[in-house]
Amino acid sequence: MGISAITHRNALKIDDNQNNTSHIVFILNGFYSLGEWRPLLSVPFLLMFLMSLLSNSILLYLIISKRTLHSPMIILIGLMAVVDLCLPIVIVPKMLLGFLFNWDGISLAGCLAQMFCIHFVGSFQSTLLVWMALDRYFAICRPLYYHKYMDISNFLKFVIIPVIRNALLIITMICRAGALTFCRRNVMDHCFCEHMALVQLACGDISVNNLIGLVSAFLIPTADFVFITASYIFIFASVFKTGRSNFKAVNTCITHIIVMTVTLTFALIAFMSYRIKNNFSSNSRHFVSTMYLLFPSFLNPVIYGVRTKEIRQQLLMFMKCLKISPVS
């Protein structure tokens, strides 16, 4: 249920001496310093949300409906589109309600649920890039064994360990956060439920929660980035050593590295801004946090979809059918 601006102002006056109770409702305070300009943020976020939904939905439709697009790499691109659909749905609607109507309240259970969805889906995005790197490695460095290793039964052996890793780390992080007592303030300095933004409102020692958050940040996206970079080094070495003109594959690998580097940079800046003293304004921190989640969802359909020849051909045919269908 939404909480009005009056409730928001009252929440700021909570008595710090009420240490015998634990808050179960929180106020998301992201971009509140913008004052009367805050509702205008709904315009760019709504446009990004709609474009992300539209582009990823079209990409999914093409991949599901066209049998010629059922290759392993394109199926992975389809899974990426599912992830890019889920993240904005989890984050943006609640943000828009806050920007437009000051409905900034969220329950502890709702906050933990949103936090789990953000971190688990976000970690799955990172893991998908690892699977794409494996696909490129077998296609370029072990082409004779590509169909053997990329067969679904064999491929699952490579993917189950990262998924279990992601689930264990994130469930541990969420459970530890949910077990805390929040007896100080209930105003969260963020526009969605970020782990450290919630944990910093707790009473008592939060060092374990801080450590788990750091471990998760470095064992999931950072470890995945190192693995992807190493696999692409092998790919580049194989291409240049054999003298094959596989520029398409090399171009795909470079694109993956650029996307992963930009996303990881935003993510680490957002994570570390709560743990290291810095001159970041709260608005800058909120912007970086939202961009590392929403920017890939907005651009991935172009980077992985339109730039893939097979998908681009089907997209052009789809657009042509839409254009001539009213006439027929």
- DSSP assignment of 117-172, as one string? HHHHHHHHHHHHHHHHHHHHHHHHH-GGGHHHHTSHHHHHHHHHHHHHHHHHHHHH
Mean pLDDT confidence for 102-106: 89
User: What does the mean pLDDT of the chain come to?
Assistant: 81
Residue 3 lies in a domain: no
* pLDDT above 70 (res 274): no
Residue 147 lies in a domain: yes
pLDDT recorded at residue 109: 92
Question: Largest Cα–Cα distance of the chain, in whole Å?
Answer: 73
Strands (E), the chain: 25-28, 105-107, 187-188
Backbone angles phi, psi at 88, to 5 degrees: -65, -35
In a domain, 100, yes or no: yes
Say whether pLDDT at 21 is over 80.
Answer: no
Confidence of residue 111 (pLDDT cuts 50, 70, 90): very high
Residue 213 lies in a domain: yes
- Residues 6 or more apart whose CB falls under 8 angstroms from that of 299 comprise 259
pLDDT of 12 strictly over 50: no
CATH of the domain at 101: 1.20.1070.10
How far the first Cα of the chain sits from its last, in Å, is 48
Sheet holding 105-107, edge to edge: 105-107, 25-28, 187-188
- At 4 the pLDDT is 46
Query: Which distant-in-sequence residues (6+ apart) come within 8 Å of 140 by Cβ?
Result: 235, 238, 239, 246, 249
Question: pLDDT for 237-261, tens place per residue?
Answer: 887 776 655 666 666 677 777 777 7
More confidently predicted of 192 and 22:
192
- The secondary element (H helix, E strand) that includes residue 174 is helix 152-178
Residue 322 lies in a domain: no
**Cβ atoms of residues 108 and 26 within 8 Å:** yes
27-76 pLDDT, tens digit per residue, is 998 888 888 888 998 999 999 999 999 999 999 999 998 888 888 888 88
Q: What is the pLDDT of residues 166-189, one digit of tens each?
A: 999 999 999 999 999 888 788 888
d(CA 168, CA 160): 12
Q: 180: alpha, beta or left, given left = phi > 0 and alpha = psi -120 to 50?
A: beta
Domain ranges, residue 302:
25-315
State pTM to two decimals: 0.82
- Burial class of residue 156, CB neighbours in 10 A (0-12, 13-18, 19+): exposed
Residue 14 lies in a domain: no
Q: Is position 10 within any domain?
A: no
Domain count, the chain: 1
SS3 27: strand
Report yes or no on 178 lying in a domain. Answer: yes
pLDDT of residue 32: 83
| Percent of the chain topping pLDDT 90 | 19
The encoded tokens of residue 70 equal 């059922």
Alpha-carbon distances, residue 11 vs 111, 132, 181, 186, 255 (angstroms): 17, 46, 17, 7, 46
The reported pLDDT for the residue numbered 328 is: 40
